[in-house]
Structure 1
Amino acid sequence: MSTGANALATPSTLVGLLWPSRDDARFAALRAIVLMVVGSALLTLSAKVQVPLPYVPMTLQTLVVLLIGASYGWRLGGATVALYLMQGALGMPVFAGPTAGFGYLMGPTGGFLFGFVAAAVVMGFMAERGWDRSLLRVIVMMSIGHALIFVFGLAQLSLVMPFAKAWTVGAAPFVAATVVKTALAVALMQAAWSVTRRGEAR
């Protein structure tokens, strides 16, 4: 019978191959905790690398979210991003803004944060089916991930301002950066799989 921790282990993902889980429930739980803590820490660091803009800052978080989902799988990736949001909701200074707490999630950037969870889950689901291993598919995959984040973000932003303004402040300034981050995510996934395949061939 699978334990909850083992359910988070997906051998077909990049992390699943680089650090395989075991049938040992304690090892599987420790592995999941370590990966989730590392992932949430990376999200925190990427939130602090930012270009301040009105309403929605430009950060490296979307890049990290997509890579976590694609590398971890949908269960562990989704759980990792959910842990990050929980940390912020509890008041830990993990978000891009100077404040945190549940109210922050209800603010202008909250939709983007909820979109992180959806994107991580979808990236993980697609990665578990091999979409992260071919160039064309990984381009499509990462583009879908970014699109999901924008859909969630603009939906919540539109609750506090007209959609045209939401687009102007929440999407238009990020188009060029999103293209660059998508290309970088694709390159990093391709490089990681290339190294992994060479290691397996030895």
Structure 2
Amino acid sequence: MSTGATALATPSTLMGLLWPARNDARFAAIRAVVLMVVGSALLTLSAKVQVSLPYVPMTMQTLVVLLIGATYGWRLGGATVALYLMQGAMGMPVFANTPPMPAGIGYFASPTGGFLFGFLAAALVMGVMAERGWDRSLLRVTVMMSIGHAVIFVFGLAQLSLVMPFAKAWTVGAAPFVAATIVKTALAIALMQAAWSITRRNGSAR
């Protein structure tokens, strides 16, 4: 009985519980590659689900970034977002505005490039918080997801404000997304709560 409870408490992330790692280097490498490829593919798809707006399109990417960080942990989550960014830097059309805007390393220097750096920072922050249990209670996961979105906006607005006054950067880079961000934050919270609820229930059933 105590052994089963320990087994359930051992994984520090949701993915660690759903697909446990093993003390096998080959298995660990395959697991990491599969999860990173799946995660980067989801980021690409979420970038293409968008509402076009001047300067910064509205996409589902922030939701996916936060969920990847929260479910994968900071190492694997950060590596997954880094893989996605590397794909874009290599010229693959994985970002929201590609095409028509060309992909490549220059995309990171564009006015909206800061949001991409924010994705990586947010995934790392979400991973660290998740590994400390912040994703397992309603209050904490609400704070966690709110912080994640705030990190993305901080990075995005910082770079956007380099090419325009901060007031305008806020007007085009944050204000139009407030309502959608609230909805995506609520959705992320609901998904994490549902995932943990189902996982705990199935674990108890076993």
Structures share fold, TM-score greater than 0.5:
yes
Match of residue 7 from structure 2: none
Which digits, 9 at most, give the CA deviation of each residue in 1:27-75, with x for residues without a partner? 0000000000000000000000000111100000000000000000000
Shift of 1:11: 2.3
Match of residue 136 from structure 1: 139
Match of residue 31 from structure 2: 31
**C-alpha separation between the residues in 1 aligned to 2:108 and 2:89?**
7
Matched, 1:73 2:73: yes
Which digits, 9 at most, give the CA deviation of each residue in 1:70-124, with x for residues without a partner? 0000000001001000000000010001121111111011100100000000000
> TM-score under structure 1 normalisation?
0.94
Structure 2 unaligned spans of 5+: 1-9
**C-alpha separation between the residues in 2 aligned to 1:186 and 1:147?**
15
Q: Which contiguous aligned blocks of 4+ residues in structure 1 show a shift greater than 2 angstroms? A: none
Mapping for residues 29-68 of structure 1, pairs under 5 Å:
29-68=29-68
**Which of these two proteins has the greater Rg computed from alpha carbons?**
2
Q: Which amino acid aligns with 1:139?
A: T
Shift of 1:12: 1.2
Which residue of 180, 185, 204 maps to 1:177? 180
> TM-score under structure 2 normalisation?
0.93
**C-alpha separation between the residues in 1 aligned to 2:86 and 2:11?**
27
**C-alpha separation between the residues in 2 aligned to 1:112 and 1:11?**
30
Match of residue 85 from structure 1: 85
Match of residue 204 from structure 2: 201
**C-alpha separation between the residues in 1 aligned to 2:93 and 2:204?**
43
**C-alpha separation between the residues in 2 aligned to 1:198 and 1:32?**
26
Structure 1 unaligned spans of 5+: 1-9
Which digits, 9 at most, give the CA deviation of each residue in 1:169-190, with x for residues without a partner? 0000000000000000000000
